Amino acid sequence: MHKPAKDKHFIKQPSYEGGPKALKKFIGENLRYPQEALENKVEGTVNVHYDIDYQGNVIDAKVVGGIGFGCDEEAIRLVKLLKFKVEKPRGLRILYHKTMQVHFRLPVVKEQPLQVQFSYVATATSASGNVAEEKKSSYTYQVIIGG
């Protein structure tokens, strides 16, 4: 009779519900690019060290390597929103330590097409100079460049 294989790890690490793809999606949906960083066109990666308690909550987070301009604070805010799935090993209350990289990339701005609008008004007067025979016509043109 074959014995079932024992798990290699006595203490299992916490995992995000849904895996790495779900974690990446959560970060993408909840990351708010700081206004100061947008104005200064700052891009980069913030390294955050955080602690997870035995219930799966992030209880402490600090920036190990930051880029400033409000990005560090935003990375901490984002990490504190995370909730992990923790398997309780034999009733022990374990504090887990993890590190995460939060990438800040400037959003791609789609350029709007340049629009130019001008009007053309033409007035024609008869050779006799009679105002009653005066003819007016007007045209409006709109030119869109790009798009």
Residue 131 CB-half CA count within 13 A: 0
How far, in Å, CA of 64 to CA of 67, rounded? Answer: 10
How far, in Å, are 43, 111, 125, 142 from residue 51 at the CA level?
26, 42, 85, 59
Residue 4 included in any domain: no
Strand partners, 52: 58, 96
Q: Closest Cα to residue 45, out of 70, 20, 65?
A: 65
Number of domains in the chain: 2
Is 33 domain-assigned? Answer: yes
Q: Tell me if 23 is assigned to some domain.
A: yes
Pair 32, 76 in one domain: yes
Domain that holds residue 137: 114-145
Does a structural domain hold residue 1?
no
User: What string of pLDDT tens digits covers the 147 residues of the chain?
Assistant: 677 777 677 788 999 999 999 999 999 999 999 999 999 999 999 999 999 999 999 999 999 999 999 999 999 999 999 999 998 777 788 999 999 999 999 887 766 666 666 666 666 666 665 555 556 666 666 666 665
Residue 86 sits in the same domain as residue 133: no
Same domain, 54 and 73: yes
The pTM assigned to this predicted structure is: 0.68
